[in-house]
Amino acid sequence: MKIQCPNCKEYFETDNQLTAEIEAKFRQQSEKALQEERERSAKALNDAQEKLAKETESVVQAKMAEKEKKLADEKKKFNDEKKEEQKRILAEARAKALEENVVALREKDIQIKQMQDAVKKLEQRANQGSQQIQGEALEQIVEEDLRAESGKFDIIERIAKGTRGADIIQQVCNNHDKRCGKILWEVKNAKWTETWIPKLKEDMERESVDISVIVVKELPERFGEIRNIEASRIFAIKPNMVRFVSAILRKQLIDFYEQSTSMKFASEQVQSLYDYLKSNGFGMRFKKMGEQYMELKRLHDEDKMATEKRWAKYDKSLEIMMKNMLAFSGEINAISYGEIDIPLLTDGTV
């Protein structure tokens, strides 16, 4: 067998054994080199695959992150737009509701105002009615006291409301039905005020009366129970002094009349008596008798206290009931716009 020298390119004869060894060695080296080449190729391929896998994973992750971000942005944008739309719809709904209800709200306000005005007027009417009723009740008490004190002799005239003049005119008569003089009675269910005096003087002059009495529910403390306002011509008293004062004034007028008509007395004596009636001395004596009367009356009043307190509670309960009924009537009238009207009687009751 011939083999070629790699250097000189000459062919040499070899024996079979050497050839076999060389071929075996060459084959071994070739296989080893091939194996190494395969390993290198496999490693390179494996490295390339790993690199490709890593690069592919990075690209996929990046694309997924980009896609997720895009989805998140789109979702946020959608939610923002949804919120804005909801706000717009809510605002439009509120505006529409307000526009639709503005008339109803105004009507409600007007109804409430009308009801408040009606209740206020009814309360005022109730207060006025209550004061008027109390004033008329006091006048009636004074009239009853005057009639009780004078018996059947005097003429007691109660002046109608709205008529010019005093509340009560007492024409004093003696046992022979002779008219001896007049007393004007003015009844005030209020606190004392000096402004009543000028009007009372006008009434006295118009009626040709020399004596008048103002019965006042609340006199100043400094006045006491009786006050001589002007030269024994005008007196201010509390209601509980009516009978006592009436008795004193009646007696003085009757005595003066009988003395002035009697032939037993000279004209100067009559004038002296009349002057005495107008003097401060008469006023002081009159006041003294009043104080004595009050001392006796105090004992009587103590016995009446329990009953009067009970009556006061009844009066208060009746007054509260009256106000509630008037308020209820007004509320019904206001709510029904006058279609339901609970009529009021002239005395303030329903």
Residue 9 resides in a domain: yes
Q: Which of 127, 145, 132 is nearest to 326 (CA)?
A: 127
Give Cα separations from 129 to 134, 135, 154, 323, 325 (angstroms).
8, 10, 31, 10, 13
**Mean pLDDT estimate for the chain:** 77
Q: Which tokens hold the place of 315?
A: 């009066």
What is the arithmetic mean of pLDDT over 221-229? 84
Residue 21 resides in a domain: yes
Compute CA 251 distance to the chain's CA centroid, rounded to the nearest angstrom.
56
Banded pLDDT at 339 (limits 50, 70, 90): low
Q: End-to-end alpha-carbon separation of the chain, Å?
A: 156
Q: Which amino acid does the sequence have at 125? A: R
pLDDT at 346 over 50: no
Range of the domain at 260: 152-278
Tokens 């118009």: give the residue.
Answer: 206
Q: Which amino acid does the sequence have at 297? A: K
Q: Where are the alpha helices (DSSP H) in 151-167?
A: none
Residue 312 resides in a domain: no
What is the arithmetic mean of pLDDT over 16-33? 70
**What was the pLDDT predicted at 256?**
85
Of the residues 215, 250, 278, the one at which a domain ends: 278
- Containing 306, the helix (H) or strand (E) segment is helix 280-335
Strand partners, 11: 4
Top-confidence residue, 215 or 282 = 215
**What was the pLDDT predicted at 347?**
46
pLDDT at 341 over 80: no
Q: How many domains does the chain have?
A: 2
**What was the pLDDT predicted at 64?**
77
What is the arithmetic mean of pLDDT over 230-249? 85
Residue 329 resides in a domain: no
Compute CA 4 distance to the chain's CA centroid, rounded to the nearest angstrom.
133
Are residues 57 and 159 both part of a single domain? Answer: no
Residue 207 resides in a domain: yes
Which regions of the chain does DSSP assign to beta strands (E)? Answer: 2-4, 11-13, 155-158, 168-173, 179-191, 211-218, 226-230, 234-237
Compute CA 3 distance to the chain's CA centroid, rounded to the nearest angstrom.
134
With beta carbons less than 8 A apart as the criterion, state whether 226 and 245 touch.
yes
Residue 193 resides in a domain: yes
Banded pLDDT at 349 (limits 50, 70, 90): very low
Residue 129 resides in a domain: no
pLDDT digits (tens, 9 = 90+) for 67-119: 778 878 887 887 888 788 888 887 877 777 667 666 666 776 777 777 777 66
What is the arithmetic mean of pLDDT over 228-244? 84
Banded pLDDT at 9 (limits 50, 70, 90): low
Are residues 44 and 160 both part of a single domain? Answer: no
Neighbours of 41 (CB within 10 A): 10
What is the arithmetic mean of pLDDT over 27-34? 76
With beta carbons less than 8 A apart as the criterion, state whether 181 and 253 touch.
yes
Compute CA 9 distance to the chain's CA centroid, rounded to the nearest angstrom.
134
What is the arithmetic mean of pLDDT over 326-350? 61
Banded pLDDT at 42 (limits 50, 70, 90): confident
Of the residues 225, 255, 278, the one at which a domain ends: 278
Give Cα separations from 314 to 129, 203, 307 (angstroms).
17, 37, 11
**What was the pLDDT predicted at 348?**
43
pLDDT digits (tens, 9 = 90+) for 249-289: 888 888 888 887 765 555 666 667 667 666 777 777 777 77
Residue 284 resides in a domain: no
Return d(Cα 19, Cα 3) in angstroms, integer: 9
Of the residues 25, 48, 64, the one at which a domain ends: 64
Are residues 159 and 269 both part of a single domain? Answer: yes
Report which DSSP code applies to 208. Answer: T
Return d(Cα 169, Cα 25) in angstroms, integer: 170
Sign of the Cα pseudo-torsion (78, 80, 82, 85, in order): negative
**What was the pLDDT predicted at 84?**
84
pTM of the entire predicted model = 0.43
Residues 6+ apart with CB under 8 A from 223: 192, 236
